[in-house]
Amino acid sequence: MIVPHECAGLRLDQALARMFPSHSRSRLQDWLRDGRVRLDGLVANEPKRKVWGGESLALEQPPTPEERAESAEDIPLAIVFEDAHLLVIDKPAGLVVHPGSGNWSGTLLNALLHHAPELAGVPRAGIVHRLDKDTSGLLVVARTLESQTALIRQLQARTVKRHYYALVIGDMRSGGMVDAPIGRHPVNRLRMAVVDGAREARTHYRVCERFGCATLVQCMLETGRTHQIRVHMQHLGHPLVGDPVYGPRRVADPRLSGFARQALHAFRLGLLHPASGQEMQWEVPMAEDMAQLIVALGGEAGYER
């Protein structure tokens, strides 16, 4: 783009504001400081510099959030299993699975595109199910379209085995099954809730160890609704320790109140290999922060599965 002669004598930031009226002046100044403006091929990052018209001007606009969402990023992955068809990841707490509002980069999807660039040709980079940002543990990714289709069919048929450790508040006396439909909360649309007439949801659970103030339970998903275990445990009157959405605002025991996330870890994953049909199963140890909390409560670091 050529700087028009009508801009002669203007400061560079003023000329930019006139030439690019769809952008705010503060945004243009940020781009100036970031070295995204070139005059006659050279970086121009001084807003007060004057232009005289006739210069060649290039403005490099940063990628939009949606464009960043599809970019590869060198983010370490804990790979439990990998072949030409599948990736099984042990996701740490704090890692967002898929880009979205407020998290357009630094996600598992960005990491997958760096680790396996061919995933750019698979919808959602092969992601077929999610874990919440602050839930840790096993997650499977399809490396091909055929594998993705096969895995989605298994999820729909409810043959994928997903087992979790959950530390819940209170003294849960026994295990059982929660059969309660889950949908959007009727008032707070950012939450899920047990709602009559919503999508069916079933969670099987059993008690592993009781600590009085809290109970370690093993949960097995029969269905896979958003926040299912978190909502179902709250429905039982035993919300997850550290859950900022479904848990109480205050917990008397400092060992529980100091836990910084919902205490939920996907430790076992089983499915049929999409190419061979072979039954496969993976297990990972409890996440370190949860294991340390269990020990602080008087439990063991490991549990028989």
Active-site residues, by number, are: 132
Give the separation between CA 29 and CA 22, rounded to whole angstroms. Answer: 14
Give the separation between CA 127 and CA 77, rounded to whole angstroms. Answer: 14
Of the candidates 68, 87, 69, the one whose C-alpha atom is nearest the C-alpha of residue 77 is 87
Q: How many CB atoms lie within 10 A of CB 273?
A: 15
Cα end-to-end span (Å), the chain: 65
Instruction: Compute the half-sphere exposure of residue 3: CA atoms within 13 Å on the CB side of its CA.
Output: 25
Q: How large is the angle between the packed helices 25-33 and 12-19, nearest 10 degrees? A: 130
Give the separation between CA 102 and CA 145, rounded to whole angstroms. Answer: 28
